[in-house]
Amino acid sequence: MAKQCQKGLIGPITTQNEKNVAEEIQHSRAILSNDAALTDIRISAETALAHAVVDKTHGFHLPALATLGLNNKPKARHIILRGFAPISRTLYFYTDSRSHKISEIGRTPDVNLTFYDPVRQVQLCISGRATVAKADVAQKAWGGLTPLGRRAYSAISGTGRPLAQPSSALPTHLEGRIPEADEVETGYANFTVLSITYDAFDWLALSREGNRRAQFSWQKADKNWAGGWFVP
Ligand SMILES: Cc1cc2nc3c(=O)[nH]c(=O)nc-3n(C[C@H](O)[C@H](O)[C@H](O)COP(=O)(O)O)c2cc1C
């Protein structure tokens, strides 16, 4: 099992419970500055990420992932947040190994994730580096998917490829029905877990009383966050 999966990871790729993760977020680190409000914000942001993995209705469940396109132009798309390991600052996503984002990340691993929670009116912009997770992580994640969830990975070619006519690109026998598990097993060859380890984030909270903005960067030498206030 990959190291980052052993501790503090929530989501379908682990059995770790949410309470333990919350405790790790609370106690593992304090902000270097003496500003307690910054520490609270850092904790609330990571706690929200942990909740968003398991709560499909949480605004942070569906961030936009921005990569540098192969044509050197920025590219963003929505992607479902699937797992979170606070100790290693790693977020997990599922995708198709044939998708453009995988080629893009192979060339430029630096990515941005933008989350918005409309209930709390909080935007979180995360900068990090993306890699394809190890096979054992993908295997565990695949085990947690339903046959319907697995079906997308049986498309005849990768996302973003041209088609002669509108189509899901699924084989005809899988179209419009929930497949049996053995019918979508070959899709595993295309299934990939993307892990994004972040080292900086920008938090923006909207409020009638006055907006607030803070930025945080991971201090490798101190193994701690540094934070500061910024003009919203
Ligand atoms: C609500 C929603 C959820 C999505 N979730 C995922 C996801 O979890 N993984 C994924 O690879 N694509 C997901 N997509 C599709 C992506 O936005 C994107 O179209 C696709 O991954 C192809 O991107 P690419 O060609 O740039 O790699 C989702 C789209 C929507 C609208």
Q: Is 94 in the pocket of ligand 1 (CB under 6 A)?
A: yes
Is a pLDDT exceeding 60 seen at residue 42?
yes
Which of 86-100, 123-137, 143-157, 169-183 comes out lowest in average pLDDT?
169-183
- Which residues are bridge partners to 228 per DSSP? 215
Q: Which domain holds residue 210?
A: 3-230
Q: How many domains does the chain have?
A: 1
At 67-99, the pLDDT tens digits run: 999 999 999 999 999 999 999 999 999 999 999
Atom of ligand 1 nearest to the CA of 160: 25
Q: What token pair was written down for 74?
A: 């920025």
Looking at the chain, list the stretches that DSSP marks H as alpha helix, in order from N- to C-terminal side.
3-6, 18-27, 36-54, 100-107, 135-143, 147-151
Which whole number is the average pLDDT over 22-49? 79
* Residue 155 phi, psi (nearest 5): -55, 150
Query: How does the average pLDDT of the chain come out, rounded?
Result: 89
28-46 per-residue burial string, b: 16 or more CB within 10 A, e: under 16:
ebebeeeeeebbebbbebb
- Residue 2: the pLDDT is 36
**90 membership: H or E segment, kind and range:** strand 90-96
Amino acid at 211: N
CATH number, domain containing residue 53: 2.30.110.10
Q: What token pair was written down for 22?
A: 């919350």
**Which one is predicted more confidently, 171 or 31?**
171
- Which residues are bridge partners to 132 per DSSP? 194
Give the Å distance between the CA of 101 and the centre of ligand 1: 10
Q: Give the residue, by CA position, lying nearest to ligand 1 atom 22.
A: 159
**Which one is predicted more confidently, 41 or 23?**
41
Q: What token pair was written down for 56?
A: 């499909």
Q: What is the pTM of this model?
A: 0.90
Q: Ligand 1 pocket check: which of 67, 99, 103 to mutate, most ligand atoms within 8 Å of Cβ? A: 99
What whole-number distance in Å separates Cα of residue 186 and Cα of residue 16?
28
Which whole number is the average pLDDT over 173-189? 90
By residue count, the chain amounts to 232
Q: Is 95 in the pocket of ligand 1 (CB under 6 A)?
A: yes
Atom of ligand 1 nearest to the CA of 80: 8
Is a pLDDT exceeding 50 seen at residue 164?
yes
Q: Give the residue, by CA position, lying nearest to ligand 1 atom 10.
A: 95
Its sign, for the CA torsion 111, 116, 117, 123, is: positive
Give the Å distance between the CA of 55 and the centre of ligand 1: 18
